[in-house]
Amino acid sequence: MSTSSQFAAPRTLDEATALLARHGTAARVVAGATDLMVQVRIVGAYPERYVDIKQIPEVNVIDLRADHLQLGAAVSCAALSEREDVRAAFPGLVEAAELIGSTQIQSRATLGGNLCNASPAADTVPALMALDAQAVIAGPGGTRTVKVTDVPAGPGATSLADGEIVVAFRIPVPPARSADAYQRFIPRTEMDIAVVGVGVSVTVDASGACTAARVALGAVAPTAFVAEEAGAALVGTDLDDAALAEAGRRASEAARPISDRRGTAEFRRDVTAVLTRRTAAAARDRALART
């Protein structure tokens, strides 16, 4: 980072939001800096002030309670991976975090940074959306809670106001016999960004019938989003091949991909259908294993 930029590491949310409010767009929040450092170097737009949030207790919490997981926005992917109780409750979220970059990147990269960087291909964002996660946001005006689906506003843009910080995610613990899964397609075997990413959560009843389902898609629209129609195709079924294929077809229809050097729009639509089917099958198998 530039030596001409000022660096602050406040220990409270109030200090951090006050600093951000004072410096406006000249300040940047720093978490793991795995996106920020690359962007600052490439663009050469050094902020006046870096505000490192990692010393603030609320952003480092991993608190799994009976009804929800409170997950600090600056918890690293590696720290999340180490929590076996969280992996057992939310295997899809943890597998998304474990796909980010390499071991080195995961030791720095945070879920808050993944969301706020606002890449349409961010891996943990569809996983959070599939779980109906909320984001707790602090700003100069106080704290508010919104659905994660409301945070991304377009490639590189969020709905956060100047001076606001994502403090934590509040992720509801689903009912018994529920499970989530995340899968992505990349042209290489690792260290690449998603051409398509799919997060699915399902709940089944004692007979194996699906009572609730959410399908979230990444990298096939300006932001990750929940494909409501695809989830609806699963509810009321036994999550058999026909139901999974129909969910895949509807997810593909809901996708609005672009063509670029990583794949054509048509290819992305095809992959969306296949990955939705596979990810829903993975979530189903996990949920059934809990019956």
Ligand X SMILES: Cc1cc2nc3c(=O)[nH]c(=O)nc-3n(C[C@H](O)[C@H](O)[C@H](O)COP(=O)(O)OP(=O)(O)OC[C@H]3O[C@@H](n4cnc5c(N)ncnc54)[C@H](O)[C@@H]3O)c2cc1C
Q: Which of 69, 71, 86, 109 binds ligand X (CB under 6 A)?
A: 109
State which amino acid sits at residue 122: A
Alpha-carbon distance 288 to 283, whole Å? 9
Q: Which of 94, 99, 254, 275 binds ligand X (CB under 6 A)?
A: 99
Assess 126 for contact with ligand X (CB under 6 A). no
Minimum CB distance to ligand X smaller for 167 or for 204 = 167
Assess 30 for contact with ligand X (CB under 6 A). yes
Q: Taking the complex as a whole, how short is the minimal distance between the CB of residue 36 and ligand X, in angstroms? A: 3
Minimum CB distance to ligand X smaller for 101 or for 208 = 101
Q: Taking the complex as a whole, how short is the minimal distance between the CB of residue 76 and ligand X, in angstroms? A: 7
Minimum CB distance to ligand X smaller for 79 or for 233 = 79
Contact present, 126 and 212 (Cβ < 8 Å): no
CA-CA distances (angstroms) from residue 265 to 253, 259, 274, 277? 12, 5, 14, 19
Assess 23 for contact with ligand X (CB under 6 A). no
Q: Taking the complex as a whole, how short is the minimal distance between the CB of residue 273 and ligand X, in angstroms? A: 22
The tokens 């979220």 sit on which residue?
93
Alpha-carbon distance 76 to 82, whole Å? 10
Contact present, 179 and 31 (Cβ < 8 Å): no
Contact present, 245 and 209 (Cβ < 8 Å): no
Minimum CB distance to ligand X smaller for 138 or for 202 = 138
Query: Which residues touch 84 (CB under 8 Å, ≥6 apart)?
Result: none
Q: How many residues bind ligand X (CB under 6 A)?
A: 30
Which DSSP letter does residue 39 get? Answer: H
Assess 29 for contact with ligand X (CB under 6 A). yes
Q: Which of 86, 92, 95, 110 binds ligand X (CB under 6 A)?
A: 110
Minimum CB distance to ligand X smaller for 101 or for 222 = 101
Assess 116 for contact with ligand X (CB under 6 A). yes
Residues 221-280 that bind ligand X (CB under 6 A): none
Alpha-carbon distance 196 to 249, whole Å? 15
Assess 134 for contact with ligand X (CB under 6 A). no
Classify residue 247 by burial, with Cβ atoms within 10 Å: 0-12, 13-18, 19+.
buried
For residues 173 to 212, the per-residue mask of contacts with ligand X, x marking binding by CB under 6 A and - elsewhere, is ------------------x-x-------------------
Write the Ramachandran bin of 156: left for phi over 0, alpha for psi from -120 to 50, otherwise beta.
left
Ranked by CB distance to ligand X, the top (closest) residue is 113
SS3 at position 142: strand
Residues that bind ligand X (CB under 6 A): 28-36, 38, 53, 73, 99-101, 105, 108-110, 112-114, 116-117, 122-123, 165-166, 191, 193
